[in-house]
Each structure stands twice: as structure tokens, then as C-alpha cells.
Structure 1
Amino acid sequence: MAEAHGMQRLRKPDAIDPRILDEAAEWLMQLSAGARVEDHRACERWSQSSPEHARAWARAQLLLNKLGGLPPSLAMPTLNRTPDAGRRAALTKLAAILALAPASWGIWSVLQAQDWMADYSTAVGERRVMHLADNTELTLNTATAVDVRFTATQRNVRLRSGEILVQTAHEAAAVYRPFSVNTLQGQMEALGTRFSVRLDGDTTHLAVLEGAVRITPDRAGTGAQQVLRAGQQASFTDKAVAGVTDADDAVLAWTQGMLVADKMRLADFAAELSRYRSGIVHVDPAVADVRVSGAYPVGDTDQELAMLVSTYPVDAVTRMRGRWITLLAR
């Protein structure tokens, strides 16, 4: 989106130009994938060509030392993603980490556990439909990571981060294996069904569209189990299931590439928008309670911001080439 309505580019004095961070990320990936001697020499020439390049490469080397090597998924995109798209997504992710202050790199332990080490994952803003070995249809929303484990006795998907829609496949009675989705909060066993699961901090959200799903929180007794029927939704922690309510029609809007808001707080809207956009969307407390309604395309977050600014009394101030957005009163 064009930098209008008060948008401007600002950088902290100690920040490194994002373009140079992108180049450092590119060199880091290339060298980690087994580069030739001449590639190492070319990288050295690049890093010594300016003080800014030297600072960026110092950060890259420090990050590499902390990680003990880059995850293989950064050097070799997987899961039917085209090489160009996968490499671009990996570069964006790596450059964003390089932009962080070194003191903040403890975030790596979270990323390693949730995304890069998962069997399958999507990048920010990406959506993918998969068909598992039993023909179950699994749709991954933005920034989602899952592990899939099928054995002779069970079918299991572990949701590490993000959001999924599941349409379970029917198996013949003679070879029937229970189908379940696990999160850190507990297990959801499908009873022939279509349902969505979303992770939000220490809470799991479940919405059942067809059939039924049995919830078993990890740290609660069997008496805490609860079955949700079609048209119902609930949230649960590892200890208990919260009250069951009617499933919101907007719960699957993301599968159509839309974010539907109905008198949603701007702060909550920004949190949703952040799921589909690399970087940070911050809301000034003065406008946090502005109510937002409408259908917004998640595939183009710049357009979402433009729609928001043109409809509501807020401005979007852009920093770090769009990686940091602040919404404030106009």
C-alpha cells in the first residue's frame, strides 16, 4: 500500500537496513547449504564492503552460533512448495530474526519447537490444502505447523502452531483407526467429522462443523471429557473445557481468504491481521476499543490496512519498510 494517511518510514539509529538483512540472510542460507570455496570468498568480500554489511554479517554469524546450524527446512523448502516461493518465505523469516536485537534471540527456542522442526508448515500469509495417507483433507492456515503420525492402530495430527480445518476420511470397519488432533492442551478425537482447531497461547479453540469431536484436556481426569456436536464450539486449556457456544459462521472465513469482523475491537482485529502479515501491528491504546466490522481479504494485508484507514478514524504509521505498523488516532 502506498505510504499515505500519515504513513512514513522511520528507523532506529541502531537498526540495519532491511535490504542488507535480506542479503545477509541469503548468504547465510547459501553457505549453510554447502557452498563452494569461491562462495565463501564472495561472502567475505560482501561483508567487508561496508560497515553496514559487516554489522549484518556479524549478526548472522552470531545467530548461526546460537543455532548450531540452520534447520534443513531453511535450505531446502518442502511440502510441495515451489522452490522460489519456499526460499522467499525462508529468507523473509530469517531476515526478520536478524532484525531483532541479539538479546531477543531467545525466540529461536519457540520457533524451533513450533515451525521449522515440524513435518509440514505454512509461511505467514500462506494457506495450503493437503490430503493425508488415508485421504483425510487437512487445510493449513497462515503460519501453521503440524506433525502427522499414522500407525497401524491410530491416525494423529499434532498441531504445533496456527490453525487447521480437518475433513476426516472414512475407513473400512476392519481397518478402522481413531483419528485425533493433539495440542499442548489436550486431545480431540474425531467421531466422523469436519472441524477446525486453532492454537492461541495456552488455549485451544475447537469448532465442529459436522459430526462430533471428543475433547480430553491433558491434565484433567476422564470426567472432564466433553463431546461437541455439529454447530458447537468451545475453548479449552490443559485443565478444563470452557463453556460451549454456537459455532460462529465466521470461524471458517479464512478458508475463503477472508477475515470477517463483527463489531470487533481494533486491538483484536490487529491481532488477527498480524497472523497474516510478517512483522508487528501495534495499536495505540487510544484507539484499541474502536469497533471494526466488515470482510477483509487476508491475502492482501496492505489492502486490509487501506480499507481500515479509509473507513475508520485511524492512521497507519509504517516503520522498517512495513515490518512495523502502528495504528493510531487520526
Structure 2
Amino acid sequence: MQTLRLTAEQVETAAEILRRGGLLGIPTETVYGLGANGLDAGAVGRIFAAKGRPQDNPLILHIPSADWLERYCEDIPPSAYALAERFWPGPLTMILRHKPIVPDAVTAGLDTVGMRCPAHPVCRAIIAAAGVPVAAPSGNTSGRPSPTNMADMLEDMDGKIDGIVDGGPCAVGVESTIIDLTCVPPRLLRPGGITLEQLREVLGEVAVDPAVTRLMGEGEKPRAPGMKYRHYAPKAPVTVVQGAPAAAARYIQDHMAPGDGVICFDEYAGLFDGHPLEQLGPSTDVPEQARRVFDALRWFDGTDVQQIWAQCPEAAGIGLAVANRLNKAAGFHIVQAE
């Protein structure tokens, strides 16, 4: 299969790929997604095949505006519209009860579905032109770091999908926040571009699912993407070092072996001369760390490092999302620097 490279102006060509059941790489403000007609079970099935994605890992439906919610969801609580008014279009996914029109291929057999209205204007224009909701996980081979530009997605998907739209680099860099609105109190299932603190400003009490900070067990069924499986991982094993930045840098210095790779804050790059290294950004600029984290993880697959050490921001604000992605990349192999 030849994968078409489309510009941001080729909205109708992109929409036609979706309407006829094809697979399309779409830009969003979070990461690039692998999209298909979310009402076509056969097309959705091809997403799983292209990614090598486990069938029990549900997908998110992307819509161009909140007024599409009632087409696909029922028992929609007022809190959903309050969140949509505050954060849509934007990096927020809401878990809601779905109508029968949504196929099991999207929901992994659950009675709920994740709904999101992305902020990227090209993405919304394509969905609106296609006239269907777009089911779309991140556009990487399952388990690998998510792509934040077209070139990274083509590295995994060239020849496997019908087309990809170049919408430029992603502004947020980590996937959307996922909040479950079918339970009381609402539950954060995945941290992302909308922070836990922002959610609590609108919703009041918000619980945090244990899967945010640990691996799910074998018998646990994920209610949203990214909860159960090791994700975002480069080929080499990752060790996350938590703690004050200076202490974490010293710990890595003391424990790394020759040739090990390092992901570190900019201020500490000079400590690791001679080692393959990717910088996350300044220790105080967590939004920049979010934009760089997947690129940093993916870069090491072009090296022969046997081990990667990663500094980690404090788990507050969007730092919770960055820490979650690093911890999942490490399979929650975490050490604490004194």
C-alpha cells in the first residue's frame, strides 16, 4: 500500500479516505492519531491490525463539536457540558455511556466510550467534512512512543495506511486527559494536557485511578486507552529516577554504566558527556518537557544503548502526565533519589 502524504489544505481528500473505510494519519494538538470511521467496525478493526494493538484496549471517538455528543452517547451528565464549555476543543476525553450505534470494535465491548473534540483545526475540519466520528488511537506501533510529527508516524505506519495529513508538530505532546463521568466522584483514568487541578476547578472532587501510578493486573479490564499495557517504550529498558532534579542527576551519575543513555533536564546535560543524551527542557518548564518526552524516548531506538536513565518532573500539573508516560515507558521501574 502506498501512503499518501497530504497537506493541511487537502481536507476533502482526507475525508474521503475516512468515508470509504481507509486509515488516515491525523494531526491533533496532543499526538498524531491513526484514524478510521468510528461507525465502521471493519475500518476500526484495521486500526488494531496496523498498530498490533490488543483488542481489549478501547479507542476514543473524535468529534468536531460538543453538539455531536448526543448522536453517540446517552445519559450525558451536566458535568460533560460544563467540561466541554471550559476545555473543548482541547486535550480532554470524557468517558460516557454510548448508544448502540457505536460498534464494539471501538469500545472493546464496554458500555462506555471515550469522546473528544480536538483543538487542531485541520483535524476538526477533516472530521466535519467526513461527517462521521473518527476512532483514533496514537499513530505508533503498539507499545512504542507516540508520534508528535508526521515523520515519526511514517516511521511506524508508512505502507500500512492510506494517507497521512501533515499538520505540523504537536503543540501539547502527550495524549489527552481521560476523565470517567459515569462514576461518582468522576475518576481520572489518564493524565494529559488538561491537569487534575483544572478538572477539580470544574468538577470538585475527582478521584485518581490506581492505574495512573501502577501497572494494571492481568485480570483488570481497561476502561480507557493507555491503562493496561506497557506503553511509550523504546527498545532499551528505562529506569525513571524521581526526586529533586540535582539529586536525581547525581543518582544517575553514580549508577549508570558506560554507554548508557540519559534523558535529563537541560541544566544537567553537562554531567553526562560521552553518553547518548536527550534533553527534556529546563527543569522548571514542564509544558516543554511534555512536548519533548516522546521524541526523547523515540530517539534512542536509533542508538545501541542497553539502558536508559530518565529524570522525572514532580507529579503536579502537567508534570503528572509526563511522569505517567515516563513511568509507563519504564514499566514502572522507578527509583527514588535521596
* Pairwise same-fold verdict (TM > 0.5): no
Greater relative contact order, per chain length (Cα 8 Å cut-off, separation 6+): 2
Larger Rg computed on CA atoms? 1
TM-score (norm 1): 0.29
